[in-house]
Structure 1
């Protein structure tokens, strides 16, 4: 048995009557619950008792608006196109109840909205009733402080802001029975390939752990976009390490809600590499995958759905340098010093990589001398002075101000007169490799 009630977002005292005049599905959706202006913050409404597993849908009505949300616009959580306008917030629980916060954004034009989904906020509280059902109470956490009115919307016409979010609230028997990330994905029915990949990679137990985790979850359709045979190949036991690398690149070891994701430029993943985050025309992208649904709550974190599989850098430091074509002297020096295997197989490491032009700035004959077998130790010391243990990104390096190298001596990082390592200019930063990160310098660093 599923019973549905709806939350109507109202602007004036007479909006209840106006709703009946402009909406043809008032009887279908259920009773009026909250009024935007007339209902005080903290008001509670008891919705009734439902069987565990029932789904509650909510709606709000714009009864005095224009532009992106004209008068009579009704937005419902059970309509896919309307889910842009709702966001699920933090889920919390006490001994008796599970609380889920639902936020609504009433201005969806990127030029005028702050997209904080706090124009109407309600808490959905579900309480277990032994062997029977759930008692659900809606509490108005904040009476709307930004009212949809004709003057406000007159300034924000144009297309709606496409911020995808999941806004269906499902009752559960009690907080302790809430699904973790893996079970939530399996129950959704559209992440079968992801679930199979997690099992093949041996990551199921990890993602069923305490967390918190944020998972950028590719759908089955997203995996299907990979070249033919890719998924089948990745699922083979001999490719387990590669599969683990890819899957952990989709996981952030923190609970990052959509409202926080849009404030980021990057996110550090369990893989160790950073994924790029960008907002384009109101849509959020992780690398080149678009986020199509957000804030799916699980007991140990949050799921954001993406439309493509994101792939971490698979080339190691040496391979990455080779493909660039401007580090031939550095690679030759690493081989001569016996450090090439280390740079290929160990990690994570950070390399301040001098270009061929940087080596050419050394006094005539210096490079040729260093490459001689009898100078192998001296060459190794110079190269070790360019390598730091751990994956240290540029912002972290600048904040630290110095870094201990493999040689045991520190290099100094500063931004005075431009970003520098000692006296060498940083000309490119944060070049990802499978086992570390590369920062390009325009001079060879020489230990004192």
Structure 2
């Protein structure tokens, strides 16, 4: 709606007076209706192509489209659906280990598995997403969506990978642009993942000694800061043996490495103040060297590998006991 002041100025302007009718409220409404119709027509035109056509029309997805064709999935993605696709850019594929890319190109079934891990049956718009939403991918493994807000700024991630542009709509679904390639996890819960990694032998033994296995295998949204064997080796001589013999003390140490209030991937950790499973304050942030750090009142550590997925949360590898 145009203000009365603007209408008056148009009417009083000697260059317009007598030549044009004033821009009335009725005319404004009519113009808005026409503009809305044009916008809707443009949106429908954009969404008239199927997912393959929409992605093919953007050069940033040429690698993704080529791989979809190579895997024999083009017809399904073009004519099936509706689907939601988390679409990695060419830059995302360029950041993969070349050996991994070569392996995918040589193994069509593995390539198909990776690509289907980026696809969710159904049309899921950004407005449908919620924090810690878990959906099953077409590959079979789950994907976890998180929404983090800090100082009015919102980040949306899927398995810790940022969604950099949501809602590229197509006739048979929608694509959300991501800045990394999603790789299917080995599978399993927090304990399974730790037990399957040789870096965490001491941690797994400590979890067993403290009777926390069932807790960390249960359904939940765990964030675990996992000290490596080398981190435990930095403890003073005899300290670990003493802890193992004192189950309450061992439990206290282990629980301050666990957050149960949500799944915090690295994108959601920065400058967050969290509470551990034994009600201690835990903070995370980047130091002046750009390293992501985490600390409690008892210790500080660097996160040497973030964002290891588990079915019931996420694991961050740390180099010290906190």
Per the normalisation by structure 2, the TM-score is: 0.51
Count of matched residue positions in the alignment of Structure 1 and Structure 2: 208
Say whether residues 1:101 and 2:101 are aligned partners: no
Q: Deviations over 1:188-239 (max 9, x none)?
A: 8732xx67xx9xxxxxxxxxxxxxxx5449xxxx999658xx9xxxxxxxxx
TM-fit CA distance, 1:316: 1.8
The correspondence of residues 304-383 of structure 1 with structure 2, limited to 5 A, is 311=184, 314-372=187-245, 375-383=246-254
Aligned to 1:443: 320
Which has the larger share of helix? 2
- Runs of 4+ aligned structure 1 residues displaced above 4 Å come to 186-189, 222-227, 247-254, 275-278
Q: Distance in 2 between matches of 1:440 and 1:215?
A: 29
Structure 1 residues 411, 277: closer, same or farther in 2, change over 3 A? closer
Correspondent of 2:302 among 403, 409, 425: 425
Partner of 2:59: 162
Aligned 8 A contact 2:271 2:283 in 1: no
The answer to whether the Cα contact below 8 Å between 2:135 and 2:144 also exists between their aligned partners in 1 is no
Shift in alpha-carbon separation, 1:314–1:276, aligned structure 2, 3 A: farther
Correspondences of 1:226-305 after superposition (within 5 Å): 226=112, 245-247=136-138, 268-269=157-158, 273-275=159-161, 295-297=168-170, 302-303=174-175
Question: Structure 1 residues 309 and 364, CA, compared in 2 at 3 Å: closer, same or farther?
Answer: closer
Query: 3-state SS of the aligned residue for 2:271?
Result: helix
Q: Which runs of 5+ in 2 are unaligned?
A: 1-34, 47-56, 63-74, 88-107, 117-133, 148-154
Which of 1 and 2 has greater Rg? 1
**1:21-420, aligned counterparts within 5 Å?**
99-101=40-42, 162-163=59-60, 190-191=79-80, 214-216=84-86, 226=112, 245-247=136-138, 268-269=157-158, 273-275=159-161, 295-297=168-170, 302-303=174-175, 311=184, 314-372=187-245, 375-389=246-260, 390-400=262-272, 402-417=273-288, 418-420=291-293
Q: Deviations over 1:290-311 (max 9, x none)?
A: xxxx934369x72479xx9963
Alignment root-mean-square deviation, CA = 4.6
| Structure 2 CA distance for aligned equivalents of residues 420 and 253 of structure 1 | 21
Displacement of 1:99 in angstroms is: 1.0
Asked whether the equivalents of residues 351 and 386 of structure 1 are also in contact (C-alpha less than 8 Å), the reply is: yes
Q: What is the match of residue 50 of structure 1?
A: none
Matches of 2:228 and 2:143, distance apart in 1: 32
Cα separation, 1, equivalents of 2:221 and 2:215: 11
